[in-house]
Amino acid sequence: MRVYLPATISMLRQLVNEGEFMPLNGTAFALTPALRESYTSGSTEELEYVALMDAARASLRLLAAAQEDGGEDAKQPPRRVVVSADVADPALRPDLDHAVVRLSGPLRLDQVAAVHVDTEEAEPAVTAAAAVVDAADLGDEDAEFTLGDVEDHELAWYAPGELPFLLELM
C-alpha cells in the first residue's frame, strides 16, 4: 500500500544517513477504504493527494513541536516534508481519521517511492502555518486562512536517489 509519512528535514537526514526512520507513533496516511467512502467521487489519484495533504498538515505539527521544544528541526529550514513509500499491511486506524494508518516498524529507504518537500519560497508560509495549525484544528477561521496560504504552495517531488543532493543544498 502506498503511504504518506509526515516528516521533517531532520527525519529526512536520518533516513538518508541511517537507511531508515521511525515516524512519530508509526503514523502515516493512505488511501484507505474509509477515506474512499468519505468522498462521493474522486479518482484514486485525487484521493491519494488528499492523503498526501493530510501528511503535509501533520508535518506542520511536527515543525510546531520542534519550534516549541527547540529541537534539531528548529535549526533546519522550515519546510513540510512528506515521504511516499510502499509498505505491506499497515494497520488501518479509522478511529483516528479516515486516512490514518500505523506502521509497525521503521520505514526503510528501499521502501521510499518519492519525497515531497516545500521549496524555499514556501518557508514564510510554513512558519506562519506551523504557528497556528492547532488553532485551525479548533476552528479558528484566521488560522484556517493561514493554512490555506501554505497549501497554495505545491510540494516539490524528489526521487530517493536525489535526497543526498537535496540535503546537501539545505
CA dist., res. 50 & res. 78, Å (int): 22
Q: Amino acid identity, residue 159?
A: A
pLDDT tens for the chain, 170 residues long, are 999 999 999 999 999 999 999 998 999 999 998 999 988 888 999 999 999 999 999 999 999 988 887 767 667 899 999 999 999 989 999 888 899 999 999 999 999 999 999 999 999 999 999 999 999 989 999 999 999 999 999 999 999 999 999 999 88
Looking at residue 31, the DSSP 8-state letter turns out to be: -
165, part of any domain: no
Q: What is the pLDDT of residue 40?
A: 85
Q: What is the pLDDT of residue 76?
A: 85
Angle value at C-alpha 145, between 132 and 149, nearest 5 degrees: 90
42, part of any domain: yes
125, part of any domain: yes
Q: List C-alpha distances in Å: 100 to 4, 72, 88, 95, 97.
A: 10, 26, 15, 9, 5
Q: What is the pLDDT of residue 67?
A: 81
- Cβ burial of 33 (10 Å; 0-12, 13-18, 19+) is exposed
Q: What is the pLDDT of residue 150?
A: 95
Q: What is the pLDDT of residue 6?
A: 97
Q: List C-alpha distances in Å: 49 to 15, 22, 142.
A: 23, 22, 24
The residue range of the domain holding 69 is 2-157
DSSP letters, 37-68, are HT-SS--HHHHHHHHHHHHHHHHHHHHHHHHH
DSSP letters, 141-165, are HHHHHHHHHHHTSPPEEE-GGGHHH
**In this structure, how many other beta carbons lie within 10 angstroms of the beta carbon of residue 120?**
11
Q: What is the pLDDT of residue 14?
A: 94
Backbone φ/ψ region at 167: left (φ over 0), alpha (ψ -120 to 50), beta: alpha
Q: Amino acid identity, residue 63?
A: L
151, part of any domain: yes
Q: What is the pLDDT of residue 145?
A: 94
Q: What is the pLDDT of residue 94?
A: 81
167, part of any domain: no
170, part of any domain: no
169, part of any domain: no
Q: What is the pLDDT of residue 41?
A: 86
Q: Say how many domains are in the chain.
A: 1
162, part of any domain: no
